[in-house]
Amino acid sequence: MVEPVAIAALAIESATGYPDPLYRGIGHPVGLFARIINALETRWNQPDRPERQRRRLGIAATMLLVIGAFTGALVLEQILWSWLGQWGWIGVAIAAVPGLAQRSLHQHVAAVAQALAAGDLDAARHKVAMIVGRDTAQLDESGIARAGIESLAESFCDGVVAPAFWLMLLGLPGLYAYKAINTADSLIGHKEERWRAYGWAAARLDDIANWIPARLAGVLICLAGRGGWNTMRRDARLHASPNAGWPEAAMAGVLDVRLGGPVSYDGVAHDKPWLGNGRGEVSAEDITEALSVYRHACLLLWVIAGAYAWAL
């Protein structure tokens, strides 16, 4: 039997999250990854360097980060097993908690729903700006709700399913290597001129790392919401990302709403395709329903993690 590390980590994180005193005391692993990425980017991604050289340096930076995260987590995993013996899996599960985001994701999206339900659009814009990259200052109620639901669906993959998947597959090193890749993609894996060459490796590696988890996340959302299959199959590939469209289209189908559509980033309008063919007006009630689907999808992931532990 494989020790139930993944399901234990999911259960602990759902109950405790990443405690604020711990965050204030030692920070968060993702914060360490971000500092390394930014330091290397400042030193290596100089605009006067040839594009080919910046791409090579971006590959080197990404690989250094991933190898470092994998190796550090592997050492920590071995230390925990050595110290705790047969109970080492509990230590590994606790060490995996910072790599998961079930609780924090739910809290952030629920805060958006609460502000919208109270009719406080300014507070809702502020809350949703904490979890999305788009411009939020001019969003109406429907735009805010849509942004919150899209972030919930996409982050279900990035923050829950993918980390748990790599934890089950490769243990603690797999989880933290994934978090390093995902953090690098979020910081430098962009198409703008500054990052296009340097962040190429981070973006491509993130696409690969999320390929299976994104589709699994979409399936879990459809199962949890008892529907959405046709929308997911039809619209998932319309998304610019090869992965984000799967959970987002699934959620659009489950809720019978339209997600995606035109958005603005840094004052520049982007005409994104619509996912789903349901209602165009989205509200706080839809966020609440999406959160219910999310909770059930997380529980289904727990079932998979438990079955994995007992089957192998």
Total residue length of the chain: 312
CA 292 – CA 104 distance, rounded (Å)? 15
- Asked if residue 1 has pLDDT above 50, the reply is no
pTM of the entire predicted model:
0.95
Look at the block and give the residue holding tokens 């390093």: 180
Tens-place pLDDT, residues 175-210: 999 999 999 999 999 888 899 999 999 999 999 999
At residue 82, does pLDDT exceed 90? yes
**pLDDT tens digits, one per residue of 132-156:** 988 899 899 999 999 999 999 999 9
What's the rounded Cα separation, in Å, for the pair 145 and 97?
Answer: 28
Measure the CA–CA gap between 241 and 150, rounded to whole angstroms.
13
* Nearest-angstrom CA–CA distance, 292 and 294: 5
Q: What is the per-residue pLDDT across 290-310, written as a single tens digit (0 to 9) for each?
A: 999 999 999 999 999 999 988
State which H helix or E strand residue 83 sits in: helix 51-84
User: What burial class does residue 95 get, using C-beta atoms within 10 Å of its C-beta: 0-12 exposed, 13-18 middle, 19+ buried?
Assistant: buried
**Helices 284-311 and 200-225 sit at what angle, rounded to 10 degrees?**
100
pLDDT at 22: 78
DSSP secondary structure, 163-204, as one string: HHHHHHHHHHHHHHHHHHHHHHHHHH---SHHHHTTTHHHHH
142-156, 244-258, 266-280: least confidently modelled range:
266-280
Name the average pLDDT for the chain. 94
* DSSP label at residue 271: -
CA atoms of 207 and 214, how far apart (whole Å)? 10
302 C-beta neighbours (distance < 10 Å), count: 16
DSSP letter (8 states) at residue 97: G
Q: Are 116 and 284 in contact (CB under 8 A)?
A: yes
The answer to whether 218 and 250 are in contact (CB under 8 A) is yes
Report CA dihedral (58, 60, 63, 64) to the nearest 10 degrees: -110
Mean local confidence (pLDDT), 51-74: 97
* Residue corresponding to tokens 């998979």: 304
**Structure tokens of 169?**
């597959």
Average of per-residue pLDDT across 245-265:
95
Q: Which pLDDT band, with edges at 50, 70 and 90, does 106 fall under?
A: very high
**pLDDT band per the 50, 70, 90 thresholds, residue 2:** low
Residue of 217, 192, 157, 175 whose CA lies nearest to 268: 192
Of residues 212 and 280, more confidently modeled:
212
Q: Is the pLDDT of residue 225 over 80?
A: yes
Q: Output the six-digit token pair for 92.
A: 């590994």
pLDDT at site 292: 98
Beta bridge partners of 279: 257
119 conformational bin, left if phi > 0, alpha if psi -120 to 50, beta if neither: left
Distances (CA, A) of 144 to 122, 236, 253: 10, 22, 19
pLDDT (0 to 100) of residue 19: 83
